[in-house]
């Protein structure tokens, strides 16, 4: 499968990465409106959880572009008491997808004390690098990610994301991530913190008619010399395939495979991320049974 065939390059969403000329900061901005819309439509997200989900998607995309944009990053936000889970999965080819898993009838998830944020990077060779932080009272996706960056990554970071909704419709989504680069003193951090004081909540900026990743970058770094080192298209997309479905079936016990093969009708299996349906003929499972 060629992943590039699945990347929605025409979605209009972009991410920009810049470095300040004083060598102090890495600044990443993203417009994720279409990405969030696509993922929410696939998951039928509603209510406050739609905002939480959109924020998690944007924060995950931003984090993937910090030090390892060529790696896949997954973020899992588990609600307090284990009541519900949100998943964001961002692929280096530009696609991002997600899952909303809530108790029946729920439209929100408690991100306060007891909630857990797990962030995983898939390293070359398939190994996982992961960290977990527990959220505090009054936490949000933004504060949870900032805690993760400080505790697990040990990088001074300032993050803000926003998902602006009208009812259940996504009006706009986006955000920024600013990181202090290694071996830089605390002075520049204090200056940047003061500069970003007015950008802790960026809902107004994101909802603006002219909002863009480039525009947000210029606002944040107004008057501060910098160089844009990357501009990349991003969007909602899924890398499911019939081969991946069959590979998942291959993990079943031989007895379960034999039971599936007894039904002459094709198996109907849908992707949890995007809803695409696959028809798998029982005869396709014979090879799996032979190799099990």
What CATH number should be reported for the domain holding residue 249? Answer: 3.90.1280.10
207 domain residue, yes or no: yes
Instruction: Give the confidence band of 284 by pLDDT, cuts at 50, 70, 90.
Output: confident
Q: Is the pLDDT of residue 265 over 90?
A: no
81 domain residue, yes or no: no
Q: What is the mean pLDDT of the chain?
A: 88
171 domain residue, yes or no: yes
For residue 207, the domain's CATH number is 3.55.30.10
pLDDT confidence of residue 4: 39
Over range 240-251, report the average pLDDT.
84
pLDDT confidence of residue 96: 96
Alpha-carbon distances, residue 190 vs 26, 185, 187, 268, 276 (angstroms): 15, 10, 5, 56, 48
pLDDT confidence of residue 8: 46
* Same-domain status, 37 and 173: yes
pLDDT confidence of residue 178: 96
178 domain residue, yes or no: yes
Question: In terms of pLDDT, which residue wins out, 157 or 286?
Answer: 157
* Same-domain status, 43 and 60: yes
* Same-domain status, 227 and 256: no
Q: Among residues 236, 267, 282, which one ends one of the domains? A: 236
131 domain residue, yes or no: no
Three-state SS string over the chain comes to: CCHHHHCCHHHCCEEEEEEECCCCEEEEEEECHHHHHHHHHHHCCCHHHHHHHHHHHHHHHHHHCCCCCCCEEEEEEECHHHCCEEEEEECCCCEEEEEEECCCCCCCCCCCCCCEEEEEEECCCCCEEEEEEECCCCCCHHHHHHHHHHHCCCCCEEEEEEEEEECCEEEEEEEEEEEECCCCCHHHHHHHHHHHHHHCCCHHHHHCCCCCHHHHHHHHCCCCCEEEEEEEECEECCCCCHHHHHHHHCCCCHHHHHHHHCCCCCEEEECCCCCCEEEECHHHHHHHHHHC
Structure tokens at 163: 């998902």
* Same-domain status, 148 and 18: yes
pLDDT confidence of residue 258: 81
Q: Is the pLDDT of residue 5 over 90?
A: no
* Same-domain status, 211 and 286: no
Instruction: Give the confidence band of 82 by pLDDT, cuts at 50, 70, 90.
Output: confident
pLDDT confidence of residue 6: 45
* Same-domain status, 248 and 266: yes
pLDDT confidence of residue 128: 84
* Same-domain status, 230 and 284: no
* Same-domain status, 22 and 154: yes
pLDDT confidence of residue 290: 63
pLDDT confidence of residue 2: 41
128 domain residue, yes or no: no
Number of structural domains in the chain: 2
* Same-domain status, 170 and 53: yes
* Same-domain status, 144 and 251: no
pLDDT confidence of residue 242: 87
Question: In terms of pLDDT, which residue wins out, 170 or 127?
Answer: 170
Instruction: Give the confidence band of 38 by pLDDT, cuts at 50, 70, 90.
Output: very high
Over range 263-282, report the average pLDDT.
87
80 domain residue, yes or no: no
Q: Among residues 195, 218, 236, which one ends one of the domains? A: 236
111 domain residue, yes or no: no
Q: Is the pLDDT of residue 36 over 60?
A: yes
* Same-domain status, 17 and 155: yes
pLDDT confidence of residue 85: 96
**pLDDT-wise least confident of 8-12, 103-107, 221-225:** 8-12
Q: Among residues 218, 236, 254, which one ends one of the domains? A: 236
Q: Is the pLDDT of residue 14 over 60?
A: yes
pLDDT confidence of residue 291: 57
* Same-domain status, 274 and 144: no
Q: Give me the percent of the chain exceeding a pLDDT of 70.
A: 94
Considering the entire predicted model, what is its pTM? Answer: 0.90
| Residue found under tokens 């009208």 | 166
Q: Supply angle C-alpha 265, 42, 241, rounded to 5.
A: 50
| Residue 24 structural domain | 3-70+91-99+137-236
Let me know: does 33 contact 162? Beta carbons within 8 Å: no
């Amino acid at each position: 499968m060629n992943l590039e065939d699945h990347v929605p390059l025409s979605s209009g969403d972009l991410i920009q990465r810049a470095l300040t000329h004083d060598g102090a900061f890495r600044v990443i901005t993203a417009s994720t409106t279409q990405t969030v819309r696509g993922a929410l439509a696939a998951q039928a997200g509603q209510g406050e959880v739609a905002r939480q989900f959109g924020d998690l998607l944007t924060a995950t995309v931003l984090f993937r572009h910090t030090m390892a944009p060529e790696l896949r990053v997954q973020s899992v936000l588990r609600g307090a008491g284990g009541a519900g889970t949100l998943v964001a999965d961002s692929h280096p080819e530009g696609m991002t997808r997600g899952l909303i898993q809530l108790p029946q009838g729920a439209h929100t998830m408690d991100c306060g004390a007891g909630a857990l944020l797990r962030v995983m990077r898939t390293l070359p060779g398939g190994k996982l690098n992961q960290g977990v932080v527990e959220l505090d009272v009054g936490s949000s996706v933004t504060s949870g990610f900032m805690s993760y960056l400080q505790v697990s990554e040990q990088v001074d970071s300032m993050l803000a994301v926003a998902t602006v909704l009208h009812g259940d419709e996504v009006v706009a989504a986006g955000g920024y991530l600013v990181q202090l680069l290694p071996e830089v003193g605390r002075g520049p951090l204090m200056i940047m913190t003061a500069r970003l004081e007015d950008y802790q909540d960026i809902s107004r900026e994101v909802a603006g008619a002219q909002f863009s990743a480039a525009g947000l970058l210029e606002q944040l770094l107004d008057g501060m010399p910098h160089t844009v080192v990357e501009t990349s298209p991003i969007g909602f997309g899924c890398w499911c395939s019939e081969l991946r479905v069959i590979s998942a079936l291959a993990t079943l016990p031989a007895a379960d495979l034999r039971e599936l093969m007894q039904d002459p009708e094709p198996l109907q299996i849908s992707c949890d991320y995007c809803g695409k349906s696959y028809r798998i003929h029982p005869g396709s499972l014979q090879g799996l049974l032979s190799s099990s």
